[in-house]
Amino acid sequence: MSIQCVGIVTSLTNGLSEREANDAITANVCKGPQQHEEVCLGLFALLLTEPPQAQRCYRDLTLVNRDGMNVILIKINQILMEKFLKLQDVCRTQLVWLVRELVKSGVIGADGVLMTLMKQIAGGDITSKNLWLAENVLDILLDQREWVLKSGMLIAMSVYTYLRLIVDHGTPALLVLRQKEVDLCIGLLREKFMECFIIGRDLVRLLQIVARIPEMELLWKDLLHNPQALSPQFTGLLQLLTARTSRKFLACRLTPDMETKLLFMTSRVRFGQQKRYQDWFQRQYLSTAESQSLRCDLIRYICGVVHPSNEVLSSDILPRWAIIGWLLTTCTSNVAASNAKLALFYDWLFFSPEKDSIMNIEPAILVMHHSMKPHPAITATLLDFMCRIIPHFFPPLEGQVRQGVFNSLTFIMEKRVLAHLAPLFDNPKLDRELRSMLRERFAEFCSSPSPPTEGRDEGESVSLEMDNHVLLDKEDGCYDNTEAAFSDDEEEVNNKGNKKREFRFHPIKEAVIEEPADITPYVDQLDDTMKEKVLQLQKGSDTEAHCEVMQEIVDLVLEEDFDSEQMSTLASCLAELFKGHFRGDVLPDDITEESLEESVCKPVCLVFRNLCQMQEDNSGFSVLLEMLAELYQKQPKIGYHLLYYLRASKAAMGKMSLYESFAQATALGDLHTCLMMDMKACQEDDIRLLCYLTPSIYTEFPDETLRSGELLNMIVAVIDSTQLQELMCHVMIGNLVMFRKDSVLNILIQSLEWETFEQYSAWQLFLAHSIPLETIIPILQHLKYKEHPEALSCLLLQLRREKPSGEMVKMVLSRPCHPEDQFTTSILRHWAAKHDDVLGEHIKALLIKNNNMPRKRQSLRSSSSKLAQLTLEQILEHMDNLRLNLSNTKNSFFTQTPILQALQHVQASCDEAHKMSYYDCEYEEPSSKPPKSRRKAPASSPRSRKGAVTPVSNEEESASSSASEEEDSKPKAPKRKRKGSSAVASDSD
Amino acid sequence: MTTETHVKDIKPGLKNLNVIFIVLETGRVTKTKDGHEVRTCKVADKTGSISISVWDEVGGLIQTGDIIRLTKGYASVFKGCLTLYTGRGGELLKIGEFCMVYSEVPNFSEPNPEYSNMDQMKNKTVRGNDTTNGNGVNSQGSGSSTTPLQGGRAGSGVGSRANNPGGTTVNGKETRRSTKR
């Protein structure tokens, strides 16, 4: 494209004098927009590639362009965002020169281009190319100061960028550059503080990291003690710390390439498959000492900018916390690690549910939650950090920081990121000291029952209660620090909590029946007819009468002149009036047709019934959905009540899909989220109902359920063994499918984090299906000795029923050798007894393959850390364990022809070290010592089993031919070896 | 425009293959008798992984994480394992990096007993034949003037562009051939 344009320009100007050339170009530009663009881009391309012509080209450009350089600005932005890394040095130099010229000419939009250019300066990179760019952009900013001061965004962006880059430029060789950077930042901060203020709290974070530089120290003094000196509108640090950082700034410190790769990881890569991508990213951006500082930028970016959709969140895509965990675990310097932790918790410190997003604080809690099992040290260090940051972040603001952290934790539970914090805070994997510190600081989160939160309206009162707790506990905590005293405290807190809850529930319960005043704030907003009906509902207590009135209300709503503005008010009234229906069990104790029909005869169900009877294209249908959506906002339990109705009521037969329409009509807006929320609510209220709903949910919404480890965990976390058995029967009868081939592996991998009974239940349910074991064999790579006993034992018992396949044998042999880990030996022994010929062939294939490629190894779906790698030594070690185990039995596994051939093959090519360790045990021992069982058996068993002589000789041929291939590379060794091997062979004859 | 073959559809004996894959592992270098460097790389697309044998200097330019388009490749069995090669006039072109979803399983280059027999037969028949020899390049490489003609394989040399008989890629774009780092 550009090349064609260059061609056009050169052909226009070829052989002409400057003036003539200018005329020719101008004339061409006048022909139309296409010609205009071609000429501009042609000049642009020439300018980039031919430095001697650059001046002239730029002058021509300024003369002929008719769009305020717009075409050029767009092109520059495009190159910067997509191809900057690929530009040749000449082009880079020219591009920076051009941007400088554009700035000098004051072209409108040049500030945007300059900001894009700034984005190309990589953090944590002090290679000369990057330094060159940092310095050149800095020079533009310093030289064109007056122009810079005109653009607020450019000021803020420059300050954010260079405050960050100062961190990288601390070595003596770079001090001159750093001084210039400091001068720029200090100048802008002092002169235009309110422009910099728009950055938000991350400005403080950056200033903290560079606070030791003398000029910065002075600035800090003013920030803390004399804020007005910076700007009359600035009231102090707290003002800045409570301002959320705009995504623009968090994103500006990542180059487009880093951004693309991180976004790819968080939107496309499946959980469990991230290892290589992480390695590649690390190789490119995080492998040097100076790159440590980049981690903070990445963490801030992930917390503040990468906010996946609900769809992605509920899928098996690599979650954000896993990336954070990776960034934390691979941190090599202490300073970087503590900065990284601060970056992770930064939005917690002054969190306010109104201004801040749950997405910003979620990664920290989830990385702590999920690391508890695999990396308890990470969870511990983060919890420790969370405790200590409260008093240490900034002592004068300790109260605010504590409130921020409490707000975060409360919001996390309210939003159900985690239902309970007690398992996290009071976990036996944490050491006692840390646990007691957590108990001291977060007593109310350490006790199991979560505060009752019904809808958002009550959020405020809950957090007020929290405040009281904080004060109380602090006082209590001061008295005594012994553990016993604390557990007493906890009980007390529990009791208090319970009392409070009762105290709060009572008036509400009574209000429905006895205190009609409760709906007065709403009822007056209704028009008269509706008001009358609602008041009727309030008075009577007879269910049938209620139902009749309810039907009348529904009819009113469906009338054409119903004012939809009233819907929300009406919903508030109904939610309040029917509060009683949503308490207590839904499912009748004895499930019979009659009892089920009776249970769906509540007034609320009338709305459901009307919905079921209506055609979807009827305009009333959407009105009713709207009504339900409004009710759902006031009373979330209505979601699972609807599911129950659709399942239980005869009137709703075959109408389960109505729930999808309902989900889409709610504020949540999508089926998956809605279903998960409702099942969660159901799980908390009524476990029997959860089990009752499970088969139809799985049947009706396979796409939402079958891939959801979350849902399965919800179920197995609460069921008892009877319910488990019932579900298994449903599966075997064919009423229920809970696993599908394509997703079962991922779900089982997720289940490794669950509690023991939960895991066993998941396996039982899996086994009730008849999915081939092959599908889930790769899970073996995730199973660590001692860490995953549940899965290992289930798998062991299953493998034992299978005939070994190549993949199974490989996976089994891939387990790292550990003296106490008997898994591999157990299963090999079993197979050696039952399927010796098949096992022999598979082992032969593996031995020969691994022998041929000494350092190649398989690593399949890797999780995070080290992966099982199949090496020759490993196979041999497992084989040796098996041999030792079999030595006192009559098993003749090791005398089978394929095994002997394979071992000969290995022997023929392995190096001395291997030979030393394995040659002896595999060959010398049997032949030198009394042969015993192993020697005798072969003469009869392998031959007689194989039946004929021919296949054996065939195999020998192939073995020797593959050995002869080896000769190419190792001409000497094999000869000698082959003698040895033939001796063995003849011996066995 | 030629269509791309998925890794799962690669079978021994197929020729003229266009495949887009991401490089997962680069193997060690081995030298052939006549001095060629050979690397075996593990590559994958969303359907599975396979080994590709890369010859001479191109092999040194390939990094894991590179997304590469192979044109005019062929597949054959080497030591019982299905292996991909660059054919006559074919090339390897880096078209991106990192951002490609892959599946490492199934690995189609696992030793397959079915192939072992074919391999032997093939080696016998092919040794005399000069189109392929299980190494992909050797036979053509002997003629000194033809080597640069193997285009993509010879790296980013200018000669290879001009003479590239594959001709499917447009020259001169930034995205072209940038395996150099």
Average pLDDT, rounded, for chain A: 80
Tell me the longest C-alpha to C-alpha distance in chain B.
45
Residues of B in contact with A264 (CB under 8 A): 98-99
Q: Quick one: DSSP state of residue B107?
A: B
Amino acid, res. A296? C
**Nearest C-alpha in B relative to A87:** B174
Q: Report pLDDT for A954.
A: 42
From the CA of A864, how many Å to the nearest CA of chain B? 16
Which residue, among A57, A53, A138, A51, has the nearest Cα to A103 in the 3D structure? A138
Q: Quick one: DSSP state of residue A894?
A: G
Question: How many CB atoms sit inside 10 A of residue A28's CB?
Answer: 19
Is the CB of residue A918 less than 8 Å from the CB of residue A881? no
Cα–Cα distance list, A88 to A58, A91, A129 (Å): 20, 5, 11
Cα–Cα distance list, A602 to A557, A581, B1, B112 (Å): 18, 8, 65, 65
Backbone angles phi, psi at B71, to 5 degrees: -115, 150
Q: Is A32 left (phi over 0), alpha (psi -120 to 50) or beta?
A: left
Question: How many CB atoms sit inside 10 A of residue A536's CB?
Answer: 16
Is the CB of residue B87 less than 8 Å from the CB of residue B16? yes
Which two structure tokens, joined as six digits, stand for A45?
A: 């391309």
Q: Report pLDDT for A636.
A: 85
Q: What is the 3-state secondary structure (H, E, C) of A438-490?
A: HHHHCHHHHCCCCCCCCCHHHHHHHHHHHHHHHHHHHHHHHHCCCHHHHHHHH
Q: Report pLDDT for A411.
A: 92
Is the CB of residue A205 less than 8 Å from the CB of residue A163? no
Is the CB of residue A422 less than 8 Å from the CB of residue A445? yes
Size of interface A-B (CB pairs under 8 A): 59
* ipTM of predicted complex: 0.72
Which residue, among B53, B61, B22, has the nearest Cα to B160 in the 3D structure? B61
Look at B65 and A958 and tell me if their CB atoms are within 8 Å. Answer: no
Residue whose structure tokens are 């062929």: B74
Look at A264 and B99 and tell me if their CB atoms are within 8 Å. Answer: yes
Q: Report pLDDT for A852.
A: 67
What are the beta bridge partners of residue A735?
Answer: none
Residues counted in chain A? 989
Segment 169-198 of chain A within 8 Å of chain B by CB: none
Residues of A in contact with B105 (CB under 8 A): 778, 860-861
- Characterize A874-913 residue by residue with b for buried, 16 or more Cβ atoms within 10 angstroms of its Cβ, and e for exposed: bbbbbbbbbbebbeeeebbbbbbbbbbbbbbbbbbbbeee
Task: Provide the Cα torsion A511, A517, A520, A522; round to 10°.
Answer: -10
Q: Report pLDDT for A913.
A: 52
Amino acid, res. A928? S
Amino acid, res. A247? R
Q: Quick one: DSSP state of residue A776?
A: G
Is the CB of residue A799 less than 8 Å from the CB of residue A812? yes
* Distance, CA of B6 to CA of B48 (rounded, Å): 8
Q: Which helix (H) or strand (E) holds A96?
A: helix A89-104
pTM comes to 0.54
Is the CB of residue A782 less than 8 Å from the CB of residue A795? no
Is the CB of residue B95 less than 8 Å from the CB of residue B68? yes
Task: Provide the Cα torsion A413, A419, A424, A428; round to 10°.
Answer: 150
* Distance, CA of A675 to CA of A664 (rounded, Å): 11
Q: How far is CA A84 from the centre of its chain?
A: 29
Q: Identify each DSSP E strand in A88-211 by its residue range.
A: none
Which two structure tokens, joined as six digits, stand for A85?
A: 């890394």
Q: Report pLDDT for A217.
A: 94
Chain B positions touching chain A (beta carbons under 8 Å): 24-25, 27-28, 30, 40, 42, 64-65, 79-81, 97-99, 101, 103-105, 107, 110-111, 113, 116, 120, 172, 174-175, 178
Residue B118 pLDDT level (bands cut at 50, 70, 90): low
Cα–Cα distance list, A900 to A494, A893, A905, A981 (Å): 68, 10, 8, 9
CA atoms within 13 Å, Cβ hemisphere of A669 = 4
Is the CB of residue A297 less than 8 Å from the CB of residue A253? yes
Which two structure tokens, joined as six digits, stand for A248?
A: 């623009």
From the CA of A813, how many Å to the nearest CA of chain B? 16
For strands B66-78 and B81-97, give the pairing: antiparallel
Residues of A in contact with B50 (CB under 8 A): none
Our separate counts of H helices and E strands in chain A read 58, 0
Segments of chain A with pLDDT less than 50:
449-517, 854-868, 917, 919-989
Burial of A76 (0-12, 13-18, 19+ CB in 10 A): buried
Q: Report pLDDT for B133.
A: 39
Residues of B in contact with A276 (CB under 8 A): 24, 64-65
From the CA of A93, how many Å to the nearest CA of chain B? 17
From the CA of B40, how many Å to the nearest CA of chain A? 10
Candidates B81, B111, B178; nearest CB to A86: B178
A43: CB partners within 8 A, 6+ apart: A9, A57, A58, A60, A61, A64
Q: Report pLDDT for A962.
A: 42
Candidates B79, B98, B120; nearest CB to A277: B98
The yes-or-no verdict on residue B169 having pLDDT over 80 is no
Q: Which helix (H) or strand (E) holds B81?
A: strand B81-97
Amino acid, res. A422? A
Residues of B in contact with A5 (CB under 8 A): none
Look at B99 and A849 and tell me if their CB atoms are within 8 Å. Answer: no
- The stretch B118-123 carries a mean pLDDT of 53
- The stretch B78-88 carries a mean pLDDT of 91
A388: CB partners within 8 A, 6+ apart: none
Q: How far is CA A448 from the centre of its chain?
A: 26
Which has the higher per-residue pLDDT, A836 or B46?
B46
DSSP A552-583: HHHHHHHSTT--GGGHHHHHHHHHHHTGGGGS
Which two structure tokens, joined as six digits, stand for A184?
A: 């720029």
Q: Quick one: DSSP state of residue A346?
A: T
Residues counted in chain B? 181
For strands B81-97 and B48-55, give the pairing: parallel
Q: Report pLDDT for B145.
A: 35
Candidates A261, A855, A969; nearest CB to B98: A261
Q: How far is CA A65 from the centre of its chain?
A: 48
**Nearest C-alpha in A relative to B49:** A860
Look at A856 and B175 and tell me if their CB atoms are within 8 Å. Answer: no
Cα–Cα distance list, A409 to A328, A338, A421, A430, A451 (Å): 21, 21, 8, 19, 12
Question: Alpha helix locations (H) across A286-374?
Answer: 294-304, 310-313, 320-329, 334-345, 358-371
The percentage of chain B sitting over the pLDDT mark of 70, rounded to a whole number, equals 62
Q: Report pLDDT for A914.
A: 55
Candidates A270, A280, A965; nearest CB to B64: A280
From the CA of B21, how many Å to the nearest CA of chain A? 15
**Nearest C-alpha in A relative to B101:** A269
Residue whose structure tokens are 């070690």: A877
Is the CB of residue A401 less than 8 Å from the CB of residue A389? yes
For strands B17-31 and B37-45, give the pairing: antiparallel
Look at B174 and A3 and tell me if their CB atoms are within 8 Å. Answer: no
Which residue, among A898, A975, A952, A892, has the nearest Cα to A926 in the 3D structure? A892
Q: Report pLDDT for A931.
A: 38
Look at A858 and B79 and tell me if their CB atoms are within 8 Å. Answer: no
Is the CB of residue A126 less than 8 Å from the CB of residue A290? yes
Cα–Cα distance list, A517 to A67, A360, A461, A567, B86 (Å): 68, 41, 20, 20, 83
What are the beta bridge partners of residue A917?
Answer: none
Burial of A204 (0-12, 13-18, 19+ CB in 10 A): buried
From the CA of A91, how many Å to the nearest CA of chain B? 12
* Distance, CA of B64 to CA of B86 (rounded, Å): 18
Cis check for the bond before A804: say yes or no (omega within 30 of 0). no
Which residue, among B56, B105, B63, has the nearest Cα to B85 in the 3D structure? B56
